Amino acid sequence: MSQLYTLLDRWWVDFRKGNPSADAVYQLLSAIEGTVAHDHIALRTFDHHTVDIDTVMAPLVAAGYVCQAEYVFPKTHVYSRHYEHDDVTLPKVFISQLEGSHFSQAFQGHLGRLLNQIPEGVPGQWDFFATAPPWEISFAVYEILKQESEYAAWVSAFGFQPTHFAVQTNLLVRYGDLTTLNSLLKGHGFILNTVGGEIQGSPKVFLEQSSLKAAETKVEFSDGTYLIPGTFYELAKRYLMPDGTLFKGFVTESAVTLFQNTDASALSVDSRNTL
Ligand code: NI
């Protein structure tokens, strides 16, 4: 268990270091609210057998995380699951994997060459989630991957570190309403992601989310250093379902929730914030 807490701490420290604007939002909210907790942490991987969700989640599952639901994102060829821990103070883990077979031979070749550089035995260990990518990559290959999948390009540049942390806004006393919270942040000069609207989802699907614009991050590629969009901070607001319990799942472009009795057909939202 201590390794789990070490990993969660390291992710959080590295996330704040790599995204100073997220750190500033966290500091602002902490100053106003006292404490700020996180609803979830989002991870990405690929469906290749060496790094698929089952393989890389093994240490977290051994430390008590349990899969609660799975989701599909057919447009972007992504499959995902969310995991929860008995210790409810720990954030949910939302992890997705890109289905590589849907992409071109050239794309799969580049992806294969990256995955081949991961030291054997590391996936499935705590070290797998280190902040630095476990491979060398050129900006040229990053750009090639990006033409077919922004998701793959992001992982090629940033590795398996979390894409985002999401604030649990339900626990905020003064700024628990997302519209009010967004106004506060904009008033302080923070820039929200407005693609598809500032707030994604609705009380009808029991989840609303907003996110800060991804941090422009310097990445050292093998052929030079470039500024590209990196991690982002998210704000998640959950609503009570008709049975009186708080919705714990996620909303996808066409949701499949195998372990929950949510009406999947009612759910439709851009996948921008979720992955
Ligand atoms: Ni999220």
Percent of the chain with pLDDT over 90: 84
Report d(CA 8, CA 236) in Å as an integer: 19
pLDDT at residue 254, as a whole number? 45
Ligand 1: distance of its center to the CA of 166 in Å?
6
Rounded to the nearest angstrom, the distance between the alpha carbon of 40 and the centre of ligand 1 is: 6
pLDDT: which is higher, 271 or 190: 190
Q: Name the more confident of 269 and 217.
A: 217
What pLDDT does residue 177 have?
Answer: 96
pTM, rounded to two decimals: 0.92
pLDDT digits (tens, 9 = 90+) for 122-136: 999 999 998 899 999
pLDDT, tens only, 226-247: 999 999 999 999 999 999 999 9
| Residue range 138-165, pLDDT digits in tens | 999 999 999 999 999 999 999 999 999 9
Place of tokens 């929730």: 257
- 87: closest CA among 44, 42, 37? 37
The answer to whether 46 touches 40, Cβ cutoff 8 Å, is: no
pLDDT range class, residue 267, cuts 50, 70, 90:
very low
Q: Distance, CA 207 to ligand 1 centroid (Å)? A: 11
List the one residue out of 61, 274, 262, 62 whose CA is nearest residue 164: 274
Tell me the β-bridge partners of 83.
67, 93
- Whole-number percent of the chain with pLDDT over 70: 92
Give residue 253's pLDDT. Answer: 59
Residue 103 three-state SS: coil
Instruction: Tell me how far the alpha carbon of residue 165 lies from the centroid of ligand 1, in angstroms.
Output: 7
CA of 209 to the centre of ligand 1 (A): 8
Residues bordering ligand 1, an ion, CB closer than 5 Å: 42, 166, 234
Other Cβ atoms less than 10 A from the Cβ of 51: the count is 20
Q: Which DSSP state fits 123?
A: B
Whether 262 shows a pLDDT value over 50: the answer reads: no
Q: What long-range pairs does 211-218 form, CB within 8 A, spacing at least 24?
A: 211/164, 211/235, 211/272, 211/273, 212/21, 212/22, 212/25, 212/185, 215/18, 215/19, 215/20, 215/21, 215/22, 217/18, 217/19, 217/158
- Residue 235 Cα to ligand 1 midpoint, Å, equals 8
What is the whole-number distance in angstroms between the Cα of residue 106 and the centre of ligand 1? 30
Cβ neighbours of residue 193 closer than 8 Å, sequence gap 6 or more: 210, 211, 212, 213, 214, 232, 272, 273
pLDDT score of 210? 95
Q: Average of pLDDT values for 200-206? A: 90
Residue 59 has pLDDT above 70, yes or no: yes
